[in-house]
Structure 1
Amino acid sequence: MVLTVWEQPSAAAVAPRVSDFLCDLPGPVAIHLHGHDRSRCRVLVTLLHGNEPSGLEAVHQWLRSGKQPAVDTVFIIASVAAARTEPLFYFRQLPGKRDLNRCFSPPYTDNEGLLAQAILQHIDQCQPEAVIDIHNTSGSSHGFAVATSDTPAARCLVGLFVDYLIITDLQLGSLMEQPLACPVVTIEAGGALDDAADFVASAGLGRYLMAPHVFAEERPLTLFQHPYRLELLQHSRIDYADHGLRDRDVTIRKDIERYNFAALEAGAALGWLGEEGLTHLQVVAGDCSHPVEEFFQVRDGILSARSRLHLFMATTRADIAASDCLFYFVTEPVPVSES
C-alpha cells in the first residue's frame, strides 16, 4: 500500500473542516513540514485506528494555523479508508481487515502489513529524534501514555501530553514495540467521544512541535507497571447491560468505563457469566497466558475481582472487546514516581 508524501502544505490548502480534510486525503499520507531548525526531525503518527480522531483533529488544527514547528516535522496519517467509511470515525479497521497497529512486526504479507512496513521505512528515512503515536481509548478515560521502558527520554515526551505512564511488556505488533532508532511513546488522549481528549492531543502536539528541545525537562508521572489484558476467547459472545443476558457468554456491566483509572475493590462485580463460567475469558501478560482464576472469580454467576485492581482502556463496544480486549489492568497500587 502506498504512503503518499505531501510536502509543505499551506494553510489554505487544508479544508476548514476536519471531515473534509480527511475525505480530501489520497489515502495513507506523510505530511512534511519545514522547521526553524532543518537539521532535526520529529514524527507524529495518528489514525492508526479509524475510530480515534483526536490526533487527526490536532494535526488538522496545526496545519490550519500555518505555524512553523521548531524542527522539521512529519505527520503520518494512516487508516484513512477506515476513518472515512460511514459512519465517520466508527470503524477501528475495515471489516475483514487486520488491526493496523498489530501489523508492525513481520511478516508483511497483506495490505495492512505492507502499509505498516512502509510507515516504518518512512520513519527510518526521516531519522527523527522522537516519535509520538496518538490514539484514543474506546471508552471514556483520562489521557495516559504507554511505553516499553521507563527512561528519562520517554518521561520527557510523555510529560508534554499527560501525567500517567504505563510501562508494558506486552507484544502485540504495535508501532511502539519496534526497534526504531529514537524514543517512541504512545499517547492515549482519552475517550474518542471525550471533549477533553481533543484538548490533550492538540495542547500536547503544540508543546511537542514548538519546544526547541523535547528532552530538556522531566515531569513527575504516575506509573502503572506491566499490565495484563483480559481477553474474550474466539467465538465467545459478549455484550453490556445492567443484568446478565441469557444469550451471551459474558455480560459486562454497562457502566464499566467508570472504573478506568479508578480502583476496583476485591469482590466488586464486573458483570455476569453464563453456565460455562470463566472458560470464555483469558488473561495475557507479556508473551504468555495466566490463569483467569488468579485474578477473577465467579459466584452465583457474578464475575468479580479476587483482589484490588486498577483498570484502564475498558470499553462498552462489544465489537472492540471481542476483537481486542475487554480491558487492561494492574494489580499493585499506583505509585507516584520521582522525577
Structure 2
Amino acid sequence: MKAKVAVLISGAGTNMAALLYAAKAADCPYELVLVASNDPAAPGLKIAEAEGIATWAHPHKGLTRAAFDALVDEQLRSANAEYVALAGYMRILSDDFVERWEGRMLNIHPSLLPLYKGLETHQRAIDAGDKFGGCSVHVVTPALDDGPVLAQTPVAIVAGDTAASLAERVRFAEHQLYPAALAAFVMRERSPGYLRGRVRKLALALPESDEVTSHGMPCFGIVKGKKFAYFTEDHHGDGKTALLVKISGADEQAQLIELDPDRYYRPAYFGDGWIGIRLDLGDTDWDAIAEWLRKSWLSIAPKKLAGLMAVAEEF
C-alpha cells in the first residue's frame, strides 16, 4: 500500500512535478492524491491536472490565515492524505495547521539549513563567501525553516555565480533530493524498527514498566508483574506490524473490529481480552497509541501503583 501524499504549491510546481514523476516508478512508496494551491492561476496545477492528479485551488486574499488553512486542511482530509509536501508554497502556515500535521509535513528549502532561513538564500550564501549553497528537506514545525533536517545536497558556488545562476543549479539538486527524501520518510513510518522504537518509548514511560521477550515478541509489563502490551512483527507469518493491548473482553473486541477492520484485529492465541492494532498503515495516531498503552497498563497495575499514577495525573 503506497503512502498518500498531498502537495501544496503556489507557482510553477517544478518540485511537485519531480515528486509526481518519481511516484510513477513501480517501486516508489508514495503516490500523489492531491495538488492544492493558494493561487488558482498557479501553472503547476495544469501539470497535475494533465497527469490525472486531483487539484484544488482557492485564493487566500480576504481570509484570515486560520480560516484559509482550515479550508486547505478540509481538502487534505477529503483526499485521505497521510502526508503533506510543501513545494514552493509561499504561505506562512498557522500554528494550528502545523500541529494538525505534526510529523507528517515536509518542506524543501534552498539552503543548507540551519544557514539562511527565509528568503534570498542564494545571494546570502554568495555574499557570505560560502563555497557551497544547496538545499535541505526538513520536517515542518511552527518556527520558519526550523524543523529537523532529513536530507541535504550541497551545490558548489563557482566563480562569477549570481543568485540566479546558483538558483538554477540548486533547483536541479532539489528535484533529485525531494523525491528520495520523501520516499525514505514515508518508508520510515512503516519500518518495524521505527515503529518498535516509538512503542518502546511510550511503554517504558509508564511507571515501573519493563521490556522482555515473550512468545518471540518484545513485550512490556510491570516489573515482576503482568504484561500489558506486545509488539508483533509478522508473527506466525501474518504480515502485520502491530501493538497488542488488553481490553475488557469479546464485546469491545468485536466493536473495535467492526469500527475499523483494517486497523483492529483479534490476535491469534491471545483470546478475547486482547486487541491487535495495526501500526503499519502509515497513519498511526500516536496519541491514541499512548492512551491504549496507558489503559492497558492500568488494567493490570496493582491498585496502589494505579492510585499513585492517578494522583500524579491530577497535577
Fold match (TM-score > 0.5): no
Normalising by structure 2, what TM-score?
Answer: 0.29
Of Structure 1 and Structure 2, which has the larger fraction of its residues in helix?
2
Normalising by structure 1, what TM-score?
Answer: 0.28
Q: Which structure has more RCO (C-alpha within 8 Å, separation ≥ 6)?
A: 1
Please tell me whether Structure 1 or Structure 2 has the larger radius of gyration of its CA atoms: 2
